Amino acid sequence: MSKKGGEASTSGERGMEMVSPAPSLMLSKINYRVWAMLIKAFLDSHELWQAIVGENIPKKKDRLALSTIFRVVLEETMLILDTKKMTKEN
Range of the domain at 45: 22-89
**Mean pLDDT to the nearest integer, 55-80:** 87
Q: Is 24's pLDDT higher than 90?
A: no
pLDDT at 7: 43
- For 30-80, the three-class secondary structure string (H helix, E strand, C coil) is CCHHHHHHHHHHHHHHCCCCHHHHCCCCCHHHHHHHHHHHHCCECHHHHHH
Average pLDDT over residues 47-60: 91
71 vs 18: which has the higher pLDDT: 71
Cα separation, 55 vs 14, whole angstroms: 27
Grade residue 86 by pLDDT with cuts at 50, 70 and 90.
low
Residue 4 falls inside a structural domain: no
Q: What are the contacts of 4-13 at 24+ separation with CB within 8 A? A: 6/45, 7/46, 8/46, 8/47
With respect to residue 2, please indicate whether it lies within any of the assigned structural domains.
Answer: no
Answer whether 0.85 is exceeded by the pTM: no
Is 60 contained in some domain?
yes
6 pLDDT higher than 50: no
Count of domains observed in the chain:
1
